[in-house]
Structure 1
Amino acid sequence: MNTSYRLEQAIKKLYTAFHANTLHPECCQQCAVGNILDNTDAWKHLSDQHGSSRLNYVGIVHQNLGRKFNGYSPLELLNIEATFLRACGYSLPLQKHGKKPKKPQDKHLLFEGLSATISYLCALDGVENVMDYSKLFERKNGQPCHQLDEILA
């Protein structure tokens, strides 16, 4: 499967963060977008609230200038983060009394967030969802429809 450089890098960074236990939904440097942007939090200035998909003045200026951050526009970054947080069980935008998980760094919860995020990243680039493993289990007349190496190619 041909993927863009930005998608490949984003997936590598998210994979590394997940396995290094450095993924935290409530930290702007360790959330999905924080990790994609090399553990920086400058992206938080694109919106007035963490988890919001609405650009503020600074975000609108960057968006209108066509700026990209590790390949992603400001609006794409906000939507990536919103996808991650929503899949982790947060109500958006994040608020003190909003809905949030009791254990934000639970591996199952983070996996759900990453699955949704990677699906969204694939959709942005117009490629098949790399997290979709359903083809592995397709059968016809009791036999697998696809070979593993064919799916992974």
Structure 2
Amino acid sequence: MKTSTRLEQAIKKLYVAFHNNTLHPECCKQCAVGNILNNTDSWKHLSDYHGALELNYIGKVNESFGRKFNGYSPSELLKIEATFLKACGYQLPLHYKNSKPKHPTNKDVLFNGLTKVVTFLCELDGVSNVMDYTKLFEFINEKPRFQLDDVITF
């Protein structure tokens, strides 16, 4: 299976952030989108609230001009971040009065968020979920249905 450059780069950045402990849902530079965009927070100006799905004026202008940020449109970036935050256990939009996980940087919390984000990124690109390894265990007549190289793409 062939993946897009944007998908491959996004997954690599999220992988590095997760393992280097530089992934934090509440920080615009260290959240899922912040990491995809090279630890910048300029994307936060596309909406009025962290975790919101509605583009503000700046976001709408960028979207209408077809602007892409590391391959993703402003509306896609907001959906990626909302997916991450929801899967981490946040009530959206991010606000101190809304519910959130007790330990936002707990590896299990972050893993849940990243699993949903990778699934969503694959859906955006119209490719099979790269996190789905169920094919590894499919068999026909006591023999593997697929070879390992056919299933693993990275």
Which bin holds the TM-score, normalised by the shorter protein? over 0.9
Partners of 1:2 and 1:142 lie apart in 2 by: 29
Q: Which residue of 2 aligns with 1:58?
A: 58
Partners of 2:11 and 2:100 lie apart in 1 by: 25
Matched, 1:81 2:88: no
Q: Which residue of 2 aligns with 1:150?
A: 150
Q: Deviation per CA, 1:59-89: give whole Å up to 9, x if none.
A: 0011011100111100000000000101111
**TM-score, with length taken from structure 2:** 0.95
| Secondary structure at the counterpart of residue 69 of structure 1 | coil
Q: Deviation per CA, 1:7-46: give whole Å up to 9, x if none.
A: 1110110000000000000000000000000000000000
Partners of 1:149 and 1:74 lie apart in 2 by: 35
Q: Which residue of 2 aligns with 1:122?
A: 122
Shift of 1:91: 0.9
Please tell me the residue identity of whatever aligns with 1:88: C
Aligned residue pairs total 153
Unpaired segments ≥5 residues, structure 1: none
Q: Which residue of 1 aligns with 2:40?
A: 40
Alignment of structure 1 residues 95-110 onto 2, 5 Å: 95-110=95-110
**TM-score, with length taken from structure 1:** 0.96
Unpaired segments ≥5 residues, structure 2: none
